[in-house]
Amino acid sequence: MAEFSIIETYFNRRNNTDVDLGVGDDSALLTPPRNHQLVICADTLVAGRHFPLDTSPHAIGWKSVAVNLSDIAAMGAKPHSILLALSLPQIDHDWLKDFSQGLYDCCDQFGVRLIGGDTTQSPHLTLSVTALGWIETGKAVTRSGAQVGDLIVVSGSVGDAAFALQHLGHPLQQRLDYPTPRCELGDMLKGLASSMIDVSDGLAQDLGHILNASDVGAKIQLDQLPINNALRDLDNNQRWKYALAGGDDYELCFTITMQNYQKLLQLQPNVKTTIIGEITQQRGLVFEKDGLDHPLHLNGYQHFA
Ligand code: ADP
Ligand code: MG
């Protein structure tokens, strides 16, 4: 019974438009727009592993949605709805109220509906969100399309969240707790970017996935990395480490021709974008500073380290 009252109280807002059947039946029903493909992904957050145990429930709710919308955006797709699988150690109404508010705040900001899920008891607080979106058939931007000579571009700034994790209470904690999925930018890049990924495990590692999938290499200009001013007093190696190996950024990294990049800028996306390097034929990731090779030793986030 408790399970049903939790769902009814916190996860059953009946204001779903554009959903044929939402929370309350065995499954949800959606009608796909004509000539579109379903884009679907899932991401799990485990308390103590993916966020500090004392993170505010509102932030946990926001982030559990945001990290999934970021994956949808990274395909060049528009998010539509989410499902929430919630595993709770106990029923804590204050927690559930703030958590569901954070979740709906993120949904509302990006026009996304909660259409179903699952609620269970478990010793560890775990949140698994599945996100669904649509894209015109054949238009998805994958990791495998990077071409030699393409620019490498990243949105926003990188390293903020990793810095904040080491400096809890710093104003940048907002970037750790409330990542902004780059939905508008991702949608604009459909038809313009040659490849794309969202940066969740560190820019170097995630760009590496594009390079592997596209069978190309990259040269990155260290001085062009978009690093927050709050990190300016750190020495270069520390700043680059946060920027390249930090993780939890939820920015978009994409490859694009100069011509298409100009088109993107004309569309005036709502987030800054920065050219950080170029795709090369030579495999591997090379860092450059002042025109010289500048080797760095980095590790991205390892899920089973
Ligand atoms: P079943 O036992 O048939 O799987 P449930 O009792 O788990 O159904 O869920 C009842 C309804 O509530 C379903 O529509 C399900 O999608 C929805 N639901 C369950 N948990 C959640 C949740 N945490 N958030 C949103 N919807 C949920
Ligand atoms: Mg169920």
**Ligand 1 pocket, mutate which of 1, 4, 11, 23 (most atoms under 8 A from CB):** 23
Residue 205 clears pLDDT 80, i.e. is over it: yes
83 alpha carbon, closest ligand: 1
Distance CA 137, CA 56 (A): 39
Helix (H, G, I), strand (E, B) or coil at 76: coil
CA-proximal residue: ligand 1, atom 11 (nearest): 24
pLDDT, tens digit (0-9, with 9 covering 90-100), for 32-72: 999 999 999 999 999 999 898 899 999 999 999 999 999 99
pLDDT, tens digit (0-9, with 9 covering 90-100), for 260-287: 999 999 999 999 999 999 999 999 999 9
Residue 294 belongs to a domain: no
Q: What percentage of the chain reaches a pLDDT higher than 90? A: 92
User: What is the whole-number distance in angstroms between the Cα of residue 121 and the centre of ligand 1?
Assistant: 13
Please report, for the domain that includes residue 25, its CATH number.
Answer: 3.30.1330.10
174 and 246 fall within a common domain? yes
Tally the domains of the chain. 2
183 C-beta closer than 6 A to ligand 1: no
Mean pLDDT of the chain: 95
pLDDT, tens digit (0-9, with 9 covering 90-100), for 91-128: 999 999 999 999 999 999 999 999 999 999 999 999 99
Write down which residue in 84, 102, 136 finishes a domain: 136
CB-based contacts of 114, cutoff 8 Å, min separation 6: 11, 13, 22, 23, 81, 82, 83, 84, 103, 104, 107
Write down which residue in 95, 113, 136 finishes a domain: 136
- Residue 14's pLDDT band, with cuts at 50, 70 and 90, is confident
- CA nearest neighbour of 50 among 127, 104, 132, 159: 127
Residue 1 clears pLDDT 60, i.e. is over it: no
Tell me the residue range of the domain where 166 lies. Answer: 151-289
178 and 254 fall within a common domain? yes
CB-based contacts of 15, cutoff 8 Å, min separation 6: none
129 C-beta closer than 6 A to ligand 1: no
pLDDT, tens digit (0-9, with 9 covering 90-100), for 154-167: 999 999 999 999 99
Please report, for the domain that includes residue 242, its CATH number.
Answer: 3.90.650.10
